[in-house]
């Protein structure tokens, strides 16, 4: 991670473009080397982002490091207390997360930290009806943004069939989103999710494929997985990835888009015939 971080910093200077390095899990804050390494990478000029369940916010050292070294913190919140705690297996966890988020928000204002606070909600049949109310609740926690995903079936195939979104639920969300976005904006909270992103939800709920002929792989986004592979996204690691150990220099990094593009035409990733990438469909768009 240190070696790749140095390469990304070199890339950022070479292109005169900011680079956001996002750390996902599992729970990244359970990895002991993370915080000192984050401080090192931030000193190199990288912007750092982290997605967490928030349990580690109990630790003052963790909170201080987040405020000092990270550009973004995304906290995963599945719903109101009963549902969130049931899905996460953490009795009392919702109130604790609320208390810790509000404390972190106060601390970032006290120290003028630039940390952006985001909540991410995974939408499924059991919580989509309460999504608007949840957004209004989260506005009181101190978040700057709310993003959302639809439930996917890759990680929990046994859970997915009974909880996948229904077409009528997606349609209702599409209808309500503009007014909800305006209401939240009045409270200083951005609700993310582009029209194309909601179109991806609709197609998924109806079982309709959305193929993507060319996402310009590797030009603006790279994914590194736990198998030490670097790929254009998390869904094409099998077909398009290269071993991370082969990316040793800036030239290696700069060559990846062309290599991905060529490899894509010969290996035809299955995911591209029904692209599930939230990035391609602009999850973080605002309209």
How many C-beta atoms surround the C-beta of residue 85 within 10 A?
Answer: 19
Reported as half-sphere exposure (CB side, CA atoms, 13 A), residue 259 has a value of 17
Pairwise CA distance, residues 26 & 34, whole Å: 13
Choosing from 137, 162, 192, the residue where a domain stops is 192
Mean pLDDT across the stretch 258-283?
95
Residues 89 and 174 in one domain: yes
- The answer to whether residue 84 is domain-embedded is yes
- For the segment 260-276, the average pLDDT, to the nearest whole number, is 94
Task: Note the pLDDT of residue 26.
Answer: 86
User: Are both 12 and 97 inside the same structural domain?
Assistant: yes
- pLDDT of residue 263 exceeding 80: yes
Residue in the block written with tokens 């967490």: 52
Helix locations, 77-207, DSSP H? 81-88, 93-110, 131-139, 160-163, 167-186, 195-206
Residue 286 has a pLDDT of 85
Instruction: Say yes or no: 176 and 87 in one domain.
Output: yes
Q: How many CB atoms lie within 10 A of CB 1?
A: 15
- Residues 187, 214: one domain? no
- Asked whether residue 260 falls in the same domain as residue 157, the answer is no
pLDDT at 196: 96
For 38-93, write each residue's pLDDT tens digit.
999 999 999 999 999 999 999 999 999 999 999 999 999 999 999 999 988 889 99
**Are 123 and 75 part of one and the same domain?**
yes
Last residue of a domain, one of 147, 164, 192: 192
Q: How many domains, in total, are found in the chain?
A: 2
Q: SS3 string of 53-90?
A: CCHHHHCHHHHHHHHHHCCEEEEECCCCHHHHHHHHCC
Q: What is the mean pLDDT of residues 107-130?
A: 96
Say whether both 82 and 22 belong to one domain: yes
Instruction: Report the predicted TM-score, pTM, of the whole model to 2 decimal places.
Output: 0.95
CA distances from 256 to 26, 219, 222, 253 (A): 27, 8, 9, 6
Q: Do 173 and 144 share a structural domain? A: yes
- The residue segments making up the domain with residue 111 are 2-192
Tokens of 67: 């405020």
Q: Judge contact between 39 and 69, C-beta under 8 A.
A: yes
> For residue 174, is it within any domain?
yes
Q: What is the pLDDT of residues 218-253, one digit of tens each?
A: 999 999 999 999 999 999 999 999 999 999 999 999
Tokens of 44: 């190199």
User: Does 287 have pLDDT greater than 80?
Assistant: no
Indicate whether 51 and 88 sit together in one domain.
Answer: yes
The answer to whether residues 177 and 264 belong to one domain is no
Does residue 157 register a pLDDT over 90? no
| 199 part of a folded domain | no
153 pLDDT band (50/70/90 cuts)? confident
Note the pLDDT of residue 95. Answer: 95
129 and 29 assigned to the same domain = yes
Is residue 163 a contact partner of residue 126, using CB atoms and an 8 Å limit?
Answer: yes
Residue 105 belongs to some domain of the structure = yes
Count of positions (residues) in the chain: 287
Confirm whether 244 is domain-assigned: yes
Report residue 25's pLDDT band, with 50, 70 and 90 as the boundaries: confident
**Residue 115 banded pLDDT, cuts 50, 70, 90:** very high
Burial class (CB in 10 A: 0-12, 13-18, 19+), 17: exposed
Each residue of 174-221: pLDDT tens digit?
999 999 999 999 999 999 999 999 999 999 999 999 999 999 999 999
Residues 105 and 244 in one domain: no
Whether residue 54 lies inside any domain: the answer is yes
Whether residue 200 lies inside any domain: the answer is no
**pLDDT at 17 > cutoff 80:** yes
Question: How far apart (Å, rounded) are the C-alpha atoms in residues 227 and 208?
Answer: 31
Is residue 188 one of the residues assigned to a domain? Answer: yes
The pLDDT assigned to 154 comes to 76
| CATH for 85 | 3.80.30.10
Decide which of 166, 192, 218 is a domain's last residue.
192
């Amino acid at each position: 991670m240190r070696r790749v971080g140095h390469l990304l910093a070199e890339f950022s200077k070479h292109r005169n473009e900011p680079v956001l390095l996002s750390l996902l899990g599992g729970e990244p804050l359970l990895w002991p080397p993370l915080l000192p390494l984050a401080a090192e990478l931030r000193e190199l000029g990288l912007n750092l982002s982290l997605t967490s369940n928030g349990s580690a916010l109990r630790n003052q050292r963790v909170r201080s490091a987040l405020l000092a070294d990270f550009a973004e913190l995304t906290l995963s919140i599945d719903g109101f207390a009963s549902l969130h705690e049931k899905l996460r297996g953490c009795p009392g966890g919702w109130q604790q997360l609320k208390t810790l988020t509000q404390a972190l928000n106060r601390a970032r204002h006290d120290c003028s930290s630039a940390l952006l606070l985001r909540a991410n909600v995974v939408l499924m049949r059991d919580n989509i009806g309460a999504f608007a109310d949840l957004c209004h609740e989260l506005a009181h926690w101190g978040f700057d943004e709310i993003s959302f995903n639809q439930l996917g079936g890759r990680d929990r195939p046994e859970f997915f069939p009974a909880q996948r979104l229904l077409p009528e639920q997606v349609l209702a969300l599409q209808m309500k989103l503009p007014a909800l976005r305006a209401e939240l904006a009045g409270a200083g909270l951005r609700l993310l999710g582009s029209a194309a992103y909601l179109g991806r939800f609709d197609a998924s709920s109806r079982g309709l494929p959305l193929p993507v002929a060319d996402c310009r792989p590797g030009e603006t986004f790279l994914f590194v997985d736990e198998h030490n592979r670097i790929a254009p996204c998390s869904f094409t690691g099998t077909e398009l990835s290269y071993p991370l150990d082969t990316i040793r220099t800036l030239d290696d990094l700069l060559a990846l888009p062309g290599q991905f593009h060529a490899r894509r035409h010969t290996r035809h990733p299955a995911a591209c015939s029904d692209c599930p990438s939230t990035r391609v469909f602009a999850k973080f768009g605002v309209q």
